[in-house]
Amino acid sequence: MLVFHPGVIPEYRGAHPAFWAVVNGDRKGIGWSLRTLQAGVDTGAVVAQGVSKCANPLRQSHVVMQHFAHLDGTAGLVEALRTIGRGETPLVPTEGRMSRKFTDPGLTDYWKYRRQIRTWQHANEKCGCS
């Protein structure tokens, strides 16, 4: 069985991966993973993954970003299923990558989230980005 997770694992296992990627200042952590089902929270082998191209932390909530991550990952999901259908086993190497499991955020986590968004907004204003 495969699971389509709205976050980059093993770095963002568990609940609300886009939220935690923003808190950690990690735009590349906003993405998707296709993994095998295994005991534990998001601990299966990673079959395919990618960074969300449509997620925009400056204009979208973390919930919306996770939906965009799934949409962005659809092509990768289809390609992985085709590869599996040919009898191949695609795997994304995860050795040496930090594995972290996150839970539901608390009030102070929301403050950290907003602080990171303001930091990114300020950086965009300084460089003239919109």
How sure is the predictor about 130, in pLDDT bands with cuts at 50, 70 and 90? low
**Spatial separation of the C-alpha atoms in residues 11 and 54, rounded to whole Å:** 20
| pLDDT tens string 4-49 | 999 999 999 999 999 999 999 999 999 999 999 877 777 788 999 9
Contact 9, 54 (CB under 8 A): no
Task: Please report the pLDDT score of residue 38 as a whole number.
Answer: 77
User: Which uninterrupted H or E stretch holds 2?
Assistant: strand 2-5
Task: Please report the pLDDT score of residue 128 as a whole number.
Answer: 60
Task: Please report the pLDDT score of residue 129 as a whole number.
Answer: 56
By CB neighbour count within 10 A (0-12 exposed, 13-18 middle, 19+ buried), where does 106 fall? Answer: exposed
For the chain, state the CA radius of gyration: 15
